[in-house]
């Protein structure tokens, strides 16, 4: 696949572009369950059926491991139309694509596990910040429960999907949980679309009165007005939010889904490169392949899945370039970015290290994204100097030492230490366990415990790392 194909896809006619495409399989399932909705013309309505949504959530909560999907049936007493829709959806959605490669999936799992605690640091300081850079994606996140006020929820929900996918056999074995988590998230995306549009994406397109602008050949969508929420729930907030499809495209559309996938695949690998610990060409392709398999399970179109870093960069840059022209007022992005950094800084000791998450996010994401998500505020000069000197010295020492000591990396050590504190205090807090089945949660806990030893590092570096991490684990266990 040529790099230019991605920008050609994004530059195609808006009526056919990825911003105006959703997920037919999942959208059809939700329409069968929740009904056709009031349609994009409606300015009012009775609001979402909260009892039916609660029933739906209860059923998909049973999708714990990949084995649970084999011959899955809805509970007795579930209305026939709901049961049939969910059972049909599971049968179709759980199937891996024919191009999935077991060897590359295993290679991606090894890379994620080899990076261990560093993976968590890159998730928090590169992937999630880049997620917030696209205005309409940030707007949905903002609406879905005021997430800048519930940052831990966003972080922990993301981890609850990533860990089952990237653990050994997550996408390829019955005991894994990656497929189950993916098709659950896919159906949640469709539910969000249905609530925001107060009906199906097809209804939103049909509301154009079949009028197409002669100049741009793009559809003229009806705007959904904002309503007064009928209750405090996230679902009622989404239903009442209102939406301008002509200006924004569909919510949770193909372009936004592809961009989100890139933040966890491409951005992760790019961050490794920027820290001087790049994975190598073959490992990078394997990692992108695994995320593309996940993308298939999430309902993302194959044409929006890059196979190497060059293609990924082309697509990522094209989407971000379009996003720069889509600024919203008020802009939800700074609040989301600042809330994420504030949540991380709670676990950093006072002093020069306190601004470390912000400075690392600036380094990994770049000045433009940092400015977009509100991370360009004042940081004291001593902290900035210490960070710059530390990064420079780390890269220089790593470059000099690696030919003689292949496992030596100060950058890896530093990001592992930070990642350990984030993992133990945010993800593995025993008072707030991740929302995963017990079997998967035990697997995650075992993985995190194994991460306390870096097999690539010399013995003395592991000893140094333990001095900075063992107290964090002890403090959390006691709490």
Residue 460 or residue 122, greater confidence: 122
Does an H or E element contain 205, and which?
helix 201-206
- Of 150-154, 235-239, 336-340, 469-473, the range with the lowest mean pLDDT is 469-473
Average pLDDT over residues 107-136: 89
- Whole-number pLDDT of residue 165: 93
Average pLDDT over residues 117-122: 86
- Whole-number pLDDT of residue 214: 52
Angle at 217 between CA 215 and CA 223, to 5 degrees: 100
What are 61's two structure tokens?
A: 């909560």
- Whole-number pLDDT of residue 312: 98
- Whole-number pLDDT of residue 211: 45
Question: pTM of the predicted model, to two decimals?
Answer: 0.87
* 252-273 tens-digit pLDDT: 999 999 999 999 999 999 999 9
What are 8's two structure tokens?
A: 């050609």
Band of residue 155 on the pLDDT scale cut at 50, 70, 90: confident
Distance, CA of 148 to CA of 143 (rounded, Å): 10
Reference 375, options 340, 411, 343, 409; nearest CA is: 340
Average pLDDT over residues 184-204: 92
Band of residue 213 on the pLDDT scale cut at 50, 70, 90: low
Band of residue 175 on the pLDDT scale cut at 50, 70, 90: very high
Distance, CA of 117 to CA of 419 (rounded, Å): 5
Distance, CA of 283 to CA of 285 (rounded, Å): 5
In a domain, 326, yes or no: yes
**Number of domains the chain contains:** 1
Q: How many helices (H) and strands (E) does the chain have?
A: 24, 2
Judged by DSSP in three states, 427 sits in helix
Question: What is the residue range of 414's domain?
Answer: 102-182+249-479
* 44-65 tens-digit pLDDT: 457 889 999 999 999 999 999 9
- Of 179-183, 309-313, 408-412, the range with the lowest mean pLDDT is 408-412
Distance, CA of 256 to CA of 17 (rounded, Å): 12
Q: What are phi and psi of 219, to 5 degrees?
A: -70, 150
Distance, CA of 213 to CA of 230 (rounded, Å): 36
- What do you get for the CA distance between the two ends of the chain, in Å? 52
In a domain, 440, yes or no: yes
Distance, CA of 254 to CA of 260 (rounded, Å): 10
Residue matched to tokens 């684990």: 473
151-155, 247-251, 268-272 — most confident range: 268-272
In contact, 247 and 188? CB cutoff 8 Å: no
In a domain, 71, yes or no: no
Average pLDDT over residues 268-293: 96
Average pLDDT over residues 32-38: 81
pLDDT at position 6 over 70: no
- Whole-number pLDDT of residue 245: 77
In contact, 434 and 159? CB cutoff 8 Å: yes
Band of residue 42 on the pLDDT scale cut at 50, 70, 90: very low
pLDDT at position 123 over 70: yes
What are 193's two structure tokens?
A: 């679309």
* 329-339 tens-digit pLDDT: 788 889 889 99
User: Rounded to whole angstroms, what are the CA distances from 17 to 263, 308, 350?
Assistant: 21, 23, 48
In a domain, 166, yes or no: yes
Reference 284, options 271, 298, 302; nearest CA is: 271
In contact, 206 and 42? CB cutoff 8 Å: no
Query: Which residues 6+ apart lie within 8 Å of 306 measured at CB?
Result: 1, 6, 262, 266, 288, 292, 312, 314, 315
Distance, CA of 369 to CA of 94 (rounded, Å): 35
Distance, CA of 372 to CA of 361 (rounded, Å): 12
User: Rounded to whole angstroms, what are the CA distances from 144 to 141, 189, 336?
Assistant: 5, 11, 12
- Whole-number pLDDT of residue 137: 78
Distance, CA of 287 to CA of 18 (rounded, Å): 24
Average pLDDT over residues 140-168: 75
pLDDT at position 140 over 60: yes
Q: Average per-residue pLDDT in the chain?
A: 84
- Whole-number pLDDT of residue 149: 54
pLDDT at position 431 over 70: no
Residue 12 or residue 152, greater confidence: 152
In contact, 29 and 89? CB cutoff 8 Å: yes
Distance, CA of 163 to CA of 173 (rounded, Å): 14
- Of 224-228, 349-353, 382-386, 429-433, the range with the lowest mean pLDDT is 429-433
Band of residue 88 on the pLDDT scale cut at 50, 70, 90: very high
- Whole-number pLDDT of residue 282: 97
272: left (phi > 0), else alpha (psi -120 to 50), else beta?
A: alpha
User: Rounded to whole angstroms, what are the CA distances from 8 to 53, 145, 303?
Assistant: 39, 35, 11
User: Rounded to whole angstroms, what are the CA distances from 267 to 128, 181, 264, 305, 440?
Assistant: 10, 22, 6, 14, 26
Which residues are paired to 243 by β-bridges?
224
pLDDT at position 389 over 70: yes
- Whole-number pLDDT of residue 385: 92
- Whole-number pLDDT of residue 41: 40
In a domain, 139, yes or no: yes
* 234-248 tens-digit pLDDT: 888 889 888 887 777
Maximum separation of any 2 CA atoms in the chain, in Å? 70
pLDDT at position 471 over 70: no
What are 189's two structure tokens?
A: 């995306």
Percent of the chain with pLDDT over 90: 45
What are 120's two structure tokens?
A: 């968590």
Angle at 122 between CA 451 and CA 425, to 5 degrees: 55
pLDDT at position 39 over 50: no
pLDDT at position 209 over 70: no
What are 329's two structure tokens?
A: 């007022």
Distance, CA of 193 to CA of 212 (rounded, Å): 23
Residue 6 or residue 386, greater confidence: 386
- Whole-number pLDDT of residue 424: 76
- Whole-number pLDDT of residue 115: 83
Reference 30, options 200, 197, 202; nearest CA is: 200
- Whole-number pLDDT of residue 221: 60
């Amino acid at each position: 696949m040529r790099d230019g194909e991605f920008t050609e896809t994004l530059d195609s006619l808006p009526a056919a572009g990825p911003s105006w495409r959703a997920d037919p399989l999942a959208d059809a399932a939700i329409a069968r369950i929740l009904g056709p909705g009031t349609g994009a013309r409606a300015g009012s309505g009775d609001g979402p059926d909260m009892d039916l949504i609660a029933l739906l959530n209860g059923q998909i909560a049973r999708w714990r491991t990949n084995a649970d999907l084999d011959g899955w049936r809805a509970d007795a007493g579930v209305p026939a139309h709901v049961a049939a829709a969910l059972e049909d959806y599971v049968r179709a959605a759980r199937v891996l694509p024919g191009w999935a490669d077991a060897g590359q999936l295993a290679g991606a799992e090894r890379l994620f596990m080899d990076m261990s605690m560093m993976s968590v640091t890159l998730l928090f300081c590169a992937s999630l910040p880049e997620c917030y850079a696209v205005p309409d994606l940030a707007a949905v996140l903002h609406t879905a429960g005021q997430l800048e006020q519930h940052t831990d929820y966003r972080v922990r929900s993301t981890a609850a999907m990533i860990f089952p996918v990237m653990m050994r056999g997550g996408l390829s074995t019955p005991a894994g949980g990656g497929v189950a988590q993916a098709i659950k998230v896919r159906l949640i995306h469709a539910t969000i679309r249905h609530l925001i549009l107060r009906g199906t994406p097809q209804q939103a397109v049909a509301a154009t009165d079949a009028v197409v602008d002669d100049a741009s050949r793009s559809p003229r969508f009806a705007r959904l007005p904002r309503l007064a929420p009928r209750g405090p729930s996230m679902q009622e907030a989404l239903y009442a939010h209102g939406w301008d499809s002509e200006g924004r495209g569909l919510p949770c559309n193909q372009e936004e889904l592809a961009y989100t996938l890139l933040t966890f695949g491409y951005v992760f690998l790019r961050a490794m490169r920027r820290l001087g610990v790049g994975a190598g060409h073959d490992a990078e392709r394997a990692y992108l392949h695994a995320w593309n398999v996940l993308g298939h399970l999430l309902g993302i179109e194959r044409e929006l899945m890059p196979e190497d870093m060059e293609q990924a960069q082309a697509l990522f840059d094209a989407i971000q370039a379009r996003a720069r022209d889509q600024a919203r007022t008020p802009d939800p992005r700074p609040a989301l970015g600042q809330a994420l950094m504030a949540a991380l800084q709670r676990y950093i000791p006072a002093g020069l290290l306190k601004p470390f998450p912000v400075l690392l996010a600036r380094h990994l994401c770049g000045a433009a994204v940092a400015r977009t998500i509100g991370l360009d505020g004042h940081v004291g000069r001593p902290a900035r100097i210490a960070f710059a000197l530390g990064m420079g010295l780390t890269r220089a020492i790593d470059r000099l030492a690696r030919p003689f000591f292949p496992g030596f990396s100060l950058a890896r050590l530093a990001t592992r230490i930070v990642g350990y504190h984030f993992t133990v205090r945010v993800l593995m807090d025993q008072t707030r366990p991740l929302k995963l089945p017990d079997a998967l949660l035990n697997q995650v806990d075992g993985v995190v415990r194994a991460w306390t030893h870096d097999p690539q590092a010399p013995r003395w570096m592991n000893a140094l790392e333990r001095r900075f991490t063992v107290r964090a684990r002890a403090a959390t266990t006691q709490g």
